[in-house]
């Protein structure tokens, strides 16, 4: 047990810190995220710069544009980005889900074609899993993929698909065997979002922004080489995606929470906090540290044994609920100003936006109820509730 | 960065768990023979020359076993104040100690000798009258000392900060040990007890609080191990985070242990409410830990002060020493 950086890790951290200092502009620092990320070219340029410096795909193999570094470097990277309040790379779904899934299940051609443009932010990805009839119960997907003369024909509807309106590609979970039910008969495809028959309709969210969308597929022709994994083996591929969505994001989530807690502390210093509010600020700082060291434990186990520890499974659950409390606490510290609309609110409406956005945290990427089921069944070994 | 135990530390844990299962009430001499009383005592004083991380492994197992003896009072409270010759006696199992720093002194019925905080130093207290009080947790006593005279001067009061970090970190990891055992009982019960024709663990009103108990416990353990590591760095490198890490760990772990025990009692139904079941003893130790030295709210007030009042420490790390007696 040694929580200090090794000499090599310390050198990486120093180099990274000075790179961020030189490259992070003031407008980008503390960027509030959300849909505003995509309004100008700055965020893509920033993402591109991260890639050019080798920081975008730190753990990805070098042959696909990555750096081939360890997960420890990735953790240091996220820590330093949080410390500098630097915005994350815009390719959230590509980096966090599509990329790792393609690396695990994709053909050589697919890896060569798709991975690097994710890192350079040239191509944005979206995830087409949820449907009107299949949310928590993902095995209920009905969007169909019919095989026809060496390609697939896709019909159906997806919903809540983040960034679909900007995306070049979609990772799509379909039912290829109309006779099948549940986990069998599913097939995982890569779909070109500009193919004829794909229609995207933005849905306005609780924050007033439209980041997620409905996607309609009307006889969309998908080439056979866009199959990821086996026909009928889509469930296994989808599990890889979900593992990465909830798992490897742990450090990014903790880093984001650290920024929030630091901002809340600054807010309290600015505007004052009563003893009860101070108690809650301390609580949130402690829980944020707890999440950090829980991630470290999981990371150390991953580095040593190749398998993350079971502690890792709680990251997303803990983060989402903490982020909801922290942002609510910030509104409380704002006092009556909390009721002002984003245009008139202090700090450019940062906290109003963050607090509303946080309500999605316990729904997206597996609801908190589903995550508690997973902890109960897979970690604690309790009998299945369904 | 490496946040795993070494094979030697894992072996120590296994040895401790097996030994305590076979010997639920070990004597001080037996602990000394295992090398436990001299873990962090220097080799030239007859100890193992190891660190607080190894001691933390033992505190976790001792908490799990609800060990009754002067290990906490000697190793967490008194040891940093003892000069080399007295440490050697501790390592050899010849003496045990407690430290009087507040009105209620732990392990007064079992500790051989008493150290006391007075003015700018820590002294041995000689010839004092001891009164052991009834405590809710019968496995760890509290008492008061009256009269007596200061004897040998043991250390400067400056060592109190280290004592505070050590004792808070020890209590935090001990809380994790006992909470783990309570959670294991609850999981087993939820898997086997059937009502309405199904094991009660299928009901989310049972399984979700258990998932939360597990989550709180893992978070508590992460903080406690962080604190243990920081304490182990103290002296060597003077880790500035030790006071705040220990305060954070104890604040969180004590509350988590109380919550885990309460969930376990609820999941057990009537049997969980009996004197016969071990749960209430785990619960009472958790409550003891929560109340000792400084409550979670007191500790959070210190964390808040270091975050909000300190000037120029952006990382929220306390530069201000925290007093051991505060809130005690
Ligand atoms: C901001 C945001 C972004 C999203 N982005 C994407 C995306 O990019 N791609 C994508 O595919 N999806 C996306 N989603 C969809 C998300 O994955 C689903 O909303 C989520 O899985 C829940 O499904 P649902 O909405 O159908 O709710 P339901 O599954 O109908 O759940 C409704 C309620 O019932 C509870 N519930 C359901 N089953 C159980 C059970 N077994 N036990 C206990 N409680 C249960 C749920 O926890 C929830 O509280 C996004 C959602 C949000 C909010």
Q: Is B298 on the interface with A (CB under 8 A)?
A: no
How far is Cα A289 from Cα B241, in angstroms, rounded to an integer? Answer: 12
CATH at residue A267? 1.20.140.10
Task: Pick from A70, A276, A282 the residue to mutate for testing the B interface (most B CBs within 10 Å).
Answer: A282
Domain end position, chosen among A189, A209, A233: A233
For the residues B86-110, what does the mean pLDDT come to? 97
Confidence check: pLDDT of B324 > 60: no
Is A99 among the domain residues? Answer: no
Question: Residue A173 Cα, ligand 1 centroid: separation in angstroms?
Answer: 15
Please check whether residues B81 and B180 belong to one and the same domain. Answer: no
Tokens in use for A147? Answer: 């095989």
How far is Cα B35 from Cα A45, in angstroms, rounded to an integer? Answer: 60
Is A226 among the domain residues? Answer: yes
- SS3 sequence, chain B? CECCCCHHHHHHHHHHHHHHHHCCCCCHHHHHHCCHHHCCCCHHHCCCCCCHHHHHHHHHHHHHCCCCCCHHHHHHHHHHHCCHHHHHHHHHCCCCEEEECCCCEECCCCCCEEEEEECCEEEEEECCEEEEECCCCCCCCEEEEECCEEEEEEEEHHHHHHHHHHHHHHHHHHHHHHHHHHHHHHHHHHHHCEECCEEHHHCHHHHHHHHHHHHHHHHHHHHHHHHHHHHHHCCCCCCCCHHHHHHHHHHHHHHHHHHHHHHHHHHHHHHHHCCCCCHHHHHHHHHHHHHCCCCHHHHHHHHHHHHHCCCCCCCCCCCCCCCCCCCC
For the residues B219-239, what does the mean pLDDT come to? 85
Tokens in use for A169? Answer: 């590609």
What pLDDT score does A248 carry? Answer: 62
User: Rg of chain B over CA atoms, in angstroms?
Assistant: 20
For the residues B88-115, what does the mean pLDDT come to? 97
Please check whether residues A219 and A309 belong to one and the same domain. Answer: no
Instruction: Answer whether B185's CB lies under 8 Å from B278's CB.
Output: yes
Q: CA-nearest residue of chain B to A70?
A: B1
Confidence check: pLDDT of B23 > 80: yes
Domain end position, chosen among A199, A233, A267: A233
Q: Is B273 on the interface with A (CB under 8 A)?
A: no
A245 is catalytic: yes
Is A157 among the domain residues? Answer: yes
Is B96 among the domain residues? Answer: yes
Please check whether residues A218 and A282 belong to one and the same domain. Answer: no
| Residue from the list B1, B218, B301 with its beta carbon closest to the beta carbon of A314 | B218
ipTM of the complex: 0.95
Is A171 among the domain residues? Answer: yes
To the nearest whole Å, the CA of A18 is away from the closest chain B CA by 18
Say whether A375 and B214 touch across the interface (CB within 8 A): yes
Is B321 among the domain residues? Answer: no
Q: Which residues of A336-369 are buried (b: 16+ CB within 10 A; e: fewer)?
A: eebeeebeebebeebbbbbbbbbbbbbeebbebb
Say whether B202 and A385 touch across the interface (CB within 8 A): yes
What pLDDT score does B314 carry? Answer: 42
For the residues A114-119, what does the mean pLDDT come to? 98
To the nearest whole Å, the CA of B238 is away from the closest chain A CA by 13
Please give the C-alpha separations between residue A255 and each of A38, A317, A351, B201, in angstroms, as whole numbers.
21, 15, 17, 34
Tokens in use for A72? Answer: 């420890």
| High-pLDDT (> 70) share of chain B, % | 93
How far is Cα A237 from Cα A102, in angstroms, rounded to an integer? Answer: 9
The residue whose C-alpha atom lies closest to atom 13 belonging to ligand 1 is: A160
Q: CA-nearest residue of chain A to B54?
A: A1
Task: Pick from A263, A278, A326, A380 the residue to mutate for testing the B interface (most B CBs within 10 Å).
Answer: A380
User: Rg of chain A over CA atoms, in angstroms?
Assistant: 21
Is A108 among the domain residues? Answer: no
Say whether A72 and B1 touch across the interface (CB within 8 A): yes
Domain end position, chosen among A233, A254, A288: A233
CB contacts, 8 Å: A300 with chain B: 1-4
| Residue from the list B3, B199, B245 with its beta carbon closest to the beta carbon of A1 | B3
Number of domains in chain A: 3
Is B110 among the domain residues? Answer: yes
Please check whether residues A255 and A330 belong to one and the same domain. Answer: yes
Please check whether residues A282 and A365 belong to one and the same domain. Answer: yes
For the residues A187-194, what does the mean pLDDT come to? 98
User: Sorting pLDDT into bands at 50, 70 and 90, what band is B239?
Assistant: low
Q: How many CA atoms lie within 13 A of B264 on its CB side?
A: 29
Please check whether residues B148 and B180 belong to one and the same domain. Answer: no
What pLDDT score does B311 carry? Answer: 61
Sign, CA torsion A64/A70/A72/A73: negative
Please check whether residues B187 and B142 belong to one and the same domain. Answer: no
| A142 secondary structure, DSSP code | -
CB contacts, 8 Å: A75 with chain B: 1
User: Sorting pLDDT into bands at 50, 70 and 90, what band is B82?
Assistant: very high
**What contacts A26, CB < 8 A, 6 or more positions away?**
none
pLDDT digits (tens, 9 = 90+) for A221-262: 999 999 999 999 999 999 999 988 766 668 889 999 999 999
Please check whether residues A373 and A286 belong to one and the same domain. Answer: yes
Question: Residue A367 Cα, ligand 1 centroid: separation in angstroms?
Answer: 6
Q: A127 has which bridge partners? A: A171
Phi, psi of B88 (to 5 degrees): -60, -40
CATH at residue A129? 2.40.110.10
| Residue from the list B2, B211, B316 with its beta carbon closest to the beta carbon of A2 | B2
Question: How many pairs of residues across A and B have Cβ atoms under 8 Å apart?
Answer: 156
Cβ(A212) – ligand 1 distance below 6 Å: yes
Please check whether residues B216 and B175 belong to one and the same domain. Answer: yes
For the residues B76-86, what does the mean pLDDT come to? 98
**What contacts A96, CB < 8 A, 6 or more positions away?**
A244, A245, A248, A249, A252
How far is Cα B282 from Cα A213, in angstroms, rounded to an integer? Answer: 51
| Extended beta strands in chain A, E state | 125-128, 144-148, 151-162, 169-175, 186-192, 198-203, 212-223, 227-228
To the nearest whole Å, the CA of B297 is away from the closest chain A CA by 7
Tokens in use for B305? Answer: 């002060």
To the nearest whole Å, the CA of A72 is away from the closest chain B CA by 8
Please check whether residues A255 and A222 belong to one and the same domain. Answer: no
Instruction: Answer whether B185's CB lies under 8 Å from B268's CB.
Output: yes
Number of domains in chain B: 2
For the residues B217-238, what does the mean pLDDT come to? 88
pLDDT digits (tens, 9 = 90+) for A43-52: 999 999 999 9
Q: Please, what is the average pLDDT of chain A? A: 94
Is B314 among the domain residues? Answer: no
What pLDDT score does A243 carry? Answer: 84
Is A262 among the domain residues? Answer: yes
Please check whether residues B145 and B168 belong to one and the same domain. Answer: no
Is A119 among the domain residues? Answer: no
What pLDDT score does B312 carry? Answer: 47
Cβ(A367) – ligand 1 distance below 6 Å: yes
Say whether A2 and B204 touch across the interface (CB within 8 A): no
How far is Cα B16 from Cα B4, in angstroms, rounded to an integer? Answer: 18
CB contacts, 8 Å: B222 with chain A: 290-294, 296-297, 311
For the residues B165-176, what does the mean pLDDT come to? 98
Chain-centre distance of CA B55, in angstroms?
10
Q: Which of A245, A258, A284, A287 is catalytic?
A: A245
Question: Residue A92 Cα, ligand 1 centroid: separation in angstroms?
Answer: 19
How far is Cα A213 from Cα A163, in angstroms, rounded to an integer? Answer: 7
Please check whether residues B85 and B210 belong to one and the same domain. Answer: no
Look up the domain containing B253 and give its range: 160-308
Angle, helix B242-268 to helix B160-192, in steps of 10 degrees? 20
Is B2 among the domain residues? Answer: no
Instruction: Answer whether A89's CB lies under 8 Å from A74's CB.
Output: no
Cβ(A364) – ligand 1 distance below 6 Å: yes
| A88 secondary structure, DSSP code | P
Q: Is B317 on the interface with A (CB under 8 A)?
A: no
pLDDT digits (tens, 9 = 90+) for A127-177: 999 999 999 999 999 999 999 999 999 999 999 999 999 999 999 999 999
Please check whether residues B78 and B100 belong to one and the same domain. Answer: yes
Please check whether residues A328 and A251 belong to one and the same domain. Answer: yes
Please check whether residues A375 and A265 belong to one and the same domain. Answer: yes
Say whether B1 and A3 touch across the interface (CB within 8 A): yes
CATH at residue B154? 1.10.540.10
Q: CA-nearest residue of chain B to A275?
A: B301
Is B15 among the domain residues? Answer: yes
What pLDDT score does A312 carry? Answer: 72
The residue whose C-alpha atom lies closest to atom 25 belonging to ligand 1 is: A135
Cβ(A363) – ligand 1 distance below 6 Å: yes
Q: Please, what is the average pLDDT of chain B? A: 93
Confidence check: pLDDT of B327 > 70: no
Is B323 among the domain residues? Answer: no
Is B322 among the domain residues? Answer: no
Q: Which residues of A149-177 are buried (b: 16+ CB within 10 A; e: fewer)?
A: eebbbbbbbbbbbbbbbbbbbbbbbbbbb
pLDDT digits (tens, 9 = 90+) for B255-305: 999 999 999 999 999 999 999 999 999 999 999 999 999 999 999 999 999
Please check whether residues A142 and A173 belong to one and the same domain. Answer: yes
Please check whether residues B30 and B154 belong to one and the same domain. Answer: yes
What pLDDT score does B317 carry? Answer: 39
Look up the domain containing A166 and give its range: 125-233
Please check whether residues A156 and A259 belong to one and the same domain. Answer: no
Please give the C-alpha separations between residue A367 and each of A210, A317, A386, in angstroms, as whole numbers.
20, 8, 16
How far is Cα A245 from Cα A250, in angstroms, rounded to an integer? Answer: 9
- Which pTM does this prediction carry? 0.95
CATH at residue B269? 1.20.140.10
Is A375 among the domain residues? Answer: yes
Please check whether residues B139 and B274 belong to one and the same domain. Answer: no
Q: Is B265 on the interface with A (CB under 8 A)?
A: no
How far is Cα B322 from Cα B328, in angstroms, rounded to an integer? Answer: 12
Please check whether residues B125 and B69 belong to one and the same domain. Answer: yes
Please check whether residues A34 and A60 belong to one and the same domain. Answer: yes
User: Sorting pLDDT into bands at 50, 70 and 90, what band is B316?
Assistant: very low
Q: Which of A102-111, A304-313, A345-354, B13-22 has the lowest mean pLDDT?
A: A304-313
Please check whether residues B91 and B232 belong to one and the same domain. Answer: no
How far is Cα A8 from Cα B76, in angstroms, rounded to an integer? Answer: 35
Please check whether residues A365 and A272 belong to one and the same domain. Answer: yes
Please check whether residues B220 and B261 belong to one and the same domain. Answer: yes
């Amino acid at each position: 047990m040694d929580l200090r950086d090794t000499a090599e890790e310390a050198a990486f951290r120093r180099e990274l810190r000075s790179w961020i200092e030189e490259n992070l502009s003031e407008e980008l620092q503390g960027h509030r995220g959300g849909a505003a990320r995509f309004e100008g070219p700055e965020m893509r340029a920033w993402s591109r710069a991260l890639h050019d410096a080798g920081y975008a795909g730190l753990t990805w193999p070098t042959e696909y544009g990555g750096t081939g570094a360890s997960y420890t470097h990735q953790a240091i990277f996220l820590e330093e980005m949080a410390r500098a309040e630097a915005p994350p790379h815009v390719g959230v779904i590509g980096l966090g889900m599509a990329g790792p899934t393609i690396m695990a299940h994709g053909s050589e051609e697919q890896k060569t074609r798709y991975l690097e443009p994710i890192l350079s932010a040239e191509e944005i990805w979206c995830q087409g899993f949820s449907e009107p009839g299949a949310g928590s119960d993902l095995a209920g997907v009905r969007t169909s993929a019919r095989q026809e003369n060496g390609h697939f024909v896709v019909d159906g509807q997806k919903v809540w698909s983040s960034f679909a309106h900007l995306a070049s590609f979609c990772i799509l979970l379909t039912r290829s065997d109309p006779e099948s039910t549940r986990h069998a008969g599913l097939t995982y495809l890569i779909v070109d979002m500009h193919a004829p028959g794909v229609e995207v309709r933005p849905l306005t969210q609780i924050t007033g922004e439209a980041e997620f969308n409905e996607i309609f597929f009307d006889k969309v022709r998908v080439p056979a080489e866009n199959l990821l994994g086996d026909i009928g083996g889509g469930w296994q591929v989808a599990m890889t995606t979900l593992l990465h969505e909830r798992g490897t994001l742990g450090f990014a989530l903790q880093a984001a929470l650290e920024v929030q807690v630091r901002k809340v502390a600054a807010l309290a210093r600015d505007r004052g906090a009563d003893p009860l509010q101070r108690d809650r600020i301390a609580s949130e700082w402690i829980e944020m540290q707890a999440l950090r060291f829980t991630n470290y434990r999981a990371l150390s186990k991953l580095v040593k044994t190749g398998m993350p520890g079971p502690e890792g499974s709680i990251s997303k659950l803990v983060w989402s609920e903490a982020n909801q409390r922290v942002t609510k606490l910030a509104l409380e510290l704002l006092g009556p100003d909390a009721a002002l609309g984003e245009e008139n609110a202090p700090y450019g409406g940062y906290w109003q936006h963050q607090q509303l956005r946080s309500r999605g945290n316990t729904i997206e990427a597996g609801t908190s109820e589903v995550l508690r089921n997973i902890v109960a069944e897979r970690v604690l070994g309790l009998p299945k509730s369904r | 960065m490496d946040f795993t135990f070494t094979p030697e530390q894992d072996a120590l844990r296994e040895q401790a768990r097996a030994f305590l299962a076979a010997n639920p009430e070990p004597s001080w001499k037996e602990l000394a023979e295992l090398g436990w009383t001299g873990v962090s005592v220097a080799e030239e004083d007859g100890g193992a020359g190891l660190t607080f991380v190894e001691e933390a492994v033992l505190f976790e197992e001792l908490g799990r076993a609800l060990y009754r003896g002067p290990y906490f009072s000697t190793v967490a409270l008194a040891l940093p104040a003892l000069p080399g010759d007295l440490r050697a006696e501790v390592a050899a199992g010849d003496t045990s100690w407690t430290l009087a720093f507040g009105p209620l002194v732990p392990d007064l019925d079992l500790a051989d000798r008493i150290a006391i905080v007075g003015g700018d130093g820590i002294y041995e207290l000689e010839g004092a009258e001891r009164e052991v009080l009834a405590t809710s947790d019968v496995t760890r006593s509290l008492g008061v000392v009256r009269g007596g005279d200061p004897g040998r001067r043991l250390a400067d009061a400056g060592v109190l900060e280290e004592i505070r970090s050590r004792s808070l970190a020890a209590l935090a990891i001990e809380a994790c040990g006992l909470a783990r055992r309570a959670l294991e009982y609850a999981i087993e019960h939820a898997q086997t007890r059937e009502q309405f024709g199904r094991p009660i663990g299928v009901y989310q009103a049972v399984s979700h609080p258990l998932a939360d108990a597990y989550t709180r416990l893992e978070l508590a353990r992460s903080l406690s191990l962080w604190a243990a590591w920081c304490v182990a760095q103290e002296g060597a490198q003077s880790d500035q985070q030790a006071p705040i890490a220990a305060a954070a760990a104890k604040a969180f772990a004590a509350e988590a242990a109380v919550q885990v025990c309460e969930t376990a009692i609820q999941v057990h139904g009537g049997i969980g409410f009996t004197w016969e079941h071990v749960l209430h003893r785990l619960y009472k130790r958790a409550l003891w830990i929560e109340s000792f030295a400084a409550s979670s709210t007191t500790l959070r007030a210190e964390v808040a002060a270091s975050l909000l009042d300190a000037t120029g420490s952006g990382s929220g790390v306390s530069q201000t020493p925290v007093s051991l007696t505060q809130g005690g």
